[in-house]
Amino acid sequence: MSLKNTAKILLTLIGIETVILFSSLTSIARTQNLYSPASISAESIEAAMKLFQRGTTRLEQQNYRGAIADFSKAIQLNPNQEDFYYERGLILGKLGDKKGAIRDFDDAILRNPHHARSYLNRAGMSFDLGLDHRVTDSRGVDYRIVDYRVENSRAILDLRTARDLFAQQDDQEGYQTANSLIQHFAGNLEQEKDREF
| Exposure string for 137-155, b = 16+ CB within 10 A, e = fewer | eeeeeeeeeeebeebbebb
pTM score, whole prediction? 0.68
Confidence band (pLDDT; 50, 70, 90) for 35?
low
Q: Is the model's pLDDT at 151 over the cut of 90?
A: no
Q: What percentage of the chain has pLDDT greater than the value 70?
A: 63
196 and 131 in a common domain: yes
Contact, 120 vs 150, CB < 8 A? Answer: no
Question: Which CATH number goes with the domain that contains 63?
Answer: 1.25.40.10
196 and 119 in a common domain: yes
Instruction: Answer whether residue 141 is part of any domain.
Output: yes
3-class secondary-structure state, position 40: coil
196 and 150 in a common domain: yes
Confidence band (pLDDT; 50, 70, 90) for 2?
very low
Burial class of residue 96, CB neighbours in 10 A (0-12, 13-18, 19+): exposed
Instruction: Answer whether residue 25 is part of any domain.
Output: no
The Cα 107–Cα 81 span in angstroms is 10
Confidence band (pLDDT; 50, 70, 90) for 32?
very low
- The arithmetic mean of pLDDT across residues 14-39, rounded, is 40
List % helix, strand, coil for the chain (3-state, nearest 5): 75, 5, 20
187 and 126 in a common domain: yes
Q: Is the model's pLDDT at 109 over the cut of 90?
A: yes
Choose among 177, 176, 181: nearest CA to 157. 181
Instruction: Answer whether residue 24 is part of any domain.
Output: no
The last residue of one of the domains, among 112, 143, 159, is 112
Mean pLDDT of the chain: 76
197 and 118 in a common domain: yes
- What residues have CB less than 8 Å from 80, skipping those under 6 apart? 33, 35, 37, 40, 111
Confidence band (pLDDT; 50, 70, 90) for 188?
low
The Cα 68–Cα 185 span in angstroms is 30
Q: What is the pLDDT of residue 197?
A: 35
Choose among 44, 92, 46: nearest CA to 67. 92
- Domain with 107 in it: 42-112
The last residue of one of the domains, among 92, 112, 132, is 112
